[in-house]
Amino acid sequence: MFGPAQLLRLLHINRVLVRHGLDEIVFATHLFRPIGFLRHLLPWNWLPRHHLDLPRGARIRLALEDLGPIFVKFGQMLSTRRDLLPDDIALELAKLQDQVPPFPGDQAQAIVERAYGQPWQAAFDDFSFQPLASASIAQVHAARLRGGREVVVKVLRPGIEKVIRRDIELLFIIATLAQRYWKEGRRLRPVEVVAEYEKTIFDELDLIREAANASQLRHNFKDSPILYVPEVFWPETRRNVLVMERIYGIPVGDIAALRRRGVDMKKLSERGVVVFFTQVFRDSFFHADMHPGNIFVNAEDPDDPRYIAVDFGIIGTLSPTDQHYLAENFLAFFQRDYRRVAELHIESGWVPGETRVDEFESAIRTVSEPIFDRPLKDISFGGFLLTLFQTARRFNMEVQPQLVLLQKTLLNIEGLGRQLDPDLDLWKTAKPFLESWMRDRVGPWAVIKRIKYFIPRWADQTPDLPNLVYGLLRKANSGELAVQVQKQEMERLRRDLHRANRRNFHATVGAALIVSAALLLGLGIPQPTGFWPGSLLPWLLAGVGAGLLLGAWPKDVG
């Protein structure tokens, strides 16, 4: 299972876990709890270790930071999975910072030259050696295109794909073991969690994909007064090099700078909510990594502030069905219609169809009613989703990756909005939007819109309808349809006969063996000596015969 590279990496991981005192967490798991007392006999517990006075969540965070960028990003993803982790660990993992030392600027220039197949001067008038920012996957340099446009150049780290593949393989091995031996493994599906992470991180390695995401989001918010998305320069963009317009703005987390500029914080916070719900419900295409490091504010007009987004490696989408159920969930929750919330979870397939609605409704009411003792402006949408998912977990709700990304983004937006304006009433801002969206998709006008949407397709197919009808009638008249149906029936009959013959053969052999065993026992025929005990052969024959008979018995009988 483990190759030499994985084994060495695993030993390094074990050393890091031990250094941070995490062996106690390993031995506290269901698998190792019976031998947990052995932890005190291990040599490393005889020596003093650092960080043991810290909470377990802080120790896990520090260990992931020591293990390197891939584990840091995995921890960041896990921090959004409150269905998998206790709150104290999830909150600590949310503090993981994707900041790593930069690689040399001349290496970045060399990567650009290999990607272009020519010196960097052919594309740029200037290319800064000093990076503007450095993260685990890539780093960003300032540059100026031929012609004078100021841009930023995002360059993948050299050799990063090999490092990622090594650690992903190891994570799959660990997840496979966890799914096999951990009692919660089947429900929480750790292998699928790692597979989801693998897809996300390899998507981030393709900068053309990120450029396409940025281009789509820019199109969605073209001429928008509330969100600006930088322009992508496609001729200079490659799989490992992304060139975008350079933007200038105030980092949204720099509250002091925003206040010094006199920015209307109330308007800015409300616009953040509108940006989020527009992406989710109008476009079903949302920036899923909207932490403060990826958001800036254009404060040229402090009374009319505008958001600027960067870093489009992670994008979320929702199906029309998920959009509908999510909007209805929000509206039903704030109308305290808990039965409808329960029904929506079952109708959407988020919880098993056999779930009792009354029991689920009661559980939702138990966790939701205390929330309504507070003013609506103090109710957290993200907290509501988290509470709902944690409650649904008791009813075997399966992980919904698209909703996990949504919850993460909503928590970021909500936290950011209330940092800008502590009195932000997110429900007051969102409710009219959701109600308008539902009206557009339910009722007569929604039917008319759908008909208008499909009319061009129907019009394209209308000229072919006479030929299709004629062909169908001709086949029916000539018997071709009947022949096709009969061919399918004959194939199914052939398979059934094959299975029946096999069962008959097994039954005949099994019956013969049982009869032979009965004769051996009943007639007292001498049996082999040496290897076989005196009375073993008849029972062996009878057992094999019974097994053949049971194996031959049709599975759909009795």
Q: Which of 228, 247, 266 corresponds to the end of one domain? A: 247
Same domain, 544 and 458: no
Same domain, 469 and 490: no
Same domain, 420 and 458: no
Residue 558 lies in a domain: no
Type and span of the H or E element at 73: helix 69-78
Q: Tokens for 256, please give them.
A: 């002091």
Same domain, 356 and 380: yes
Same domain, 54 and 94: yes
Same domain, 166 and 106: yes
Same domain, 312 and 401: yes
Same domain, 335 and 410: yes
- State how far the Cα of 245 lies from the Cα of 475, in Å rounded to an integer: 60
Same domain, 260 and 380: yes
Residue 80 DSSP one-character state: T
Residue 379 lies in a domain: yes
Q: How many domains does the chain have?
A: 5
- State how far the Cα of 514 lies from the Cα of 534, in Å rounded to an integer: 18
DSSP alpha helix (H) spans, 394-535: 401-420, 426-441, 444-461, 465-478, 480-523
Residue 381 lies in a domain: yes
Same domain, 428 and 347: yes
Residues belonging to the active site: 289
* Tens of each residue's pLDDT in the chain, 558 residues: 556 666 676 677 777 777 777 765 555 544 444 444 445 545 545 455 555 678 878 888 888 877 777 777 777 777 766 656 677 777 777 777 666 778 898 999 999 999 999 999 999 999 998 999 888 788 999 999 998 999 999 999 998 888 888 878 877 877 777 677 666 556 566 777 778 778 878 888 899 999 999 999 999 999 999 999 999 999 999 999 999 999 999 998 889 999 999 999 999 998 988 898 899 888 889 998 877 778 999 999 999 999 999 999 888 888 888 888 888 888 888 788 889 888 888 888 878 888 888 888 898 888 778 776 666 667 776 666 777 777 777 777 766 666 777 777 777 787 788 788 888 877 778 778 888 877 777 656 666 666 666 667 656 666 766 776 767 677 666 666 555 555 555 566 566 556 655 555 555 555 555 555 555 555 554 544 444 444 555 545 555 555 544 454 444 443
Query: Domain limits at 518?
Result: 480-552
Q: Tokens for 15, please give them.
A: 């050393």
Residue 7 lies in a domain: yes
Residue 46 lies in a domain: yes
Residue 184 lies in a domain: yes
Residue 557 lies in a domain: no
Angle between helices 320-334 and 338-347 (to 10 degrees): 170
- State how far the Cα of 453 lies from the Cα of 450, in Å rounded to an integer: 5
Which residue has tokens 């040496």? 530
Q: Which of 44, 75, 98 corresponds to the end of one domain? A: 98
Q: What is the pTM of this model?
A: 0.68
Same domain, 362 and 413: yes
Number of residues that this document lists for the chain? 558
Same domain, 71 and 123: no
Residue 523 lies in a domain: yes
Q: Which of 395, 416, 442 corresponds to the end of one domain? A: 442
